[in-house]
Amino acid sequence: MRPFRIDIPQASLDDLTARLRNTRWTPQLPGDGWSRGVPVSELRELASYWQTGYNWRAAETRLNEFPQYLTEIDGLDIHFLHVRSAQPDALPLLLTHGWPNSFVEFTELIEPLTRRGFDVVVPSVPGFGFSAAPRETGWSAARVGQVWAELMRRLGYERYGVQGGDFGAYVAPEVAKADPSHVVGVYITGGLGFPTEADLPELNEEEQTAFAELMNADWMHGVDHHALLRTAPQTFAYGWNDSPVAALAWLTQKFHEFNASGEPLEQAIDRDLFLTNLSVYWFTGTFGSSALPYYDAVGPLWPEGQKLVPTGVYSDAPGIRRLAARTNTITHWPETNPAGHHFIAMSNPADYAEDLQAFFTGLA
């Protein structure tokens, strides 16, 4: 375990500023609003703020308030945050971010969790941020889950909970499969219980409504990032790695599509927090390597979970509890949690921390 601090060279900040200043802007295409992608006017305003208003050094100082470490597991340096609660009987909780996020997803959630009696461990998925990028394919959710189990063993934890959203929703159950005698429960932000084509004839009226909600969601009709990141990430990584505006447009597009809060993105998620997440990708050059979880995926299959330990879910619809229970032992499935589940840890950390506590209370 080697202590780690973020220290981006000033030359990298100056380079980012110069690239933003020298952007060769594309004209606005015909079409209303977001119908052809991120509107030029909105992106220009956001890029201008990134260049002249956003303060990376302040964000860097904030991130360095969290104890950070590197440790080599399975041939890779794994970056992680490890923040202990003041409570002596704290339950360790392992948080796994998804795409297009990073460990930054949880920076506003950590304090509410430690205050509620959790030790918090936040690793960066291999190829994301400050974790090393794998040099070969095959880094599936199962392999990451095995690495996370080893990390918790090295930290000396005998009993712990795991959480995951997006790609983390695939990883968290795999940690339980790799280490069932030590994991007390698995908490998924959302994604369990999505019906397949074979399930459709059996859906009741309420479930059909939930399925229609799924099929009408913006993120079901946006850019197919699964296919793009599975088949041609190298092609697009040239632009993301060379042009900060290309990278900004890509993440703005996906955050817009994934935003399920019912509010405009700029109201749902703090602009500086969004840009800090983006800046971590930019300064570490990990836009391409963050596609690794998709390399070996076959289509946009939903997470299935596991039955070795109890499962809790933050968001219900468009998932269907009856279907999720086929492959999970569901003990927590609220129907009234605030919306915005994909980025709920960023947009509403207090409610998310409360629901995590509600699930894990009694499991330890």
- Catalytic site positions: 166, 294, 342
Amino acid, single-letter form, for residue 276: T
Beta strand residue intervals within the chain, DSSP E: 2-4, 68-73, 76-83, 91-96, 118-123, 160-164, 183-188, 310-313, 329-332
Q: What angle do CA 89, 90, 95 make, to 5 degrees?
A: 160
For residues 123 and 171, is the Cβ–Cβ distance under 8 A?
no
CA–CA separation, 236 vs 167, rounded Å?
A: 20
Distances (CA, A) of 337 to 178, 190, 261: 30, 12, 11
Evaluate the CA torsion angle 172, 343, 127, 56 in order and state its sign.
Answer: negative
Q: Give the SS3 label for residue 301.
A: coil
Would you tell me the crossing angle of helices 271-284 and 56-63 to the nearest 10 degrees?
90
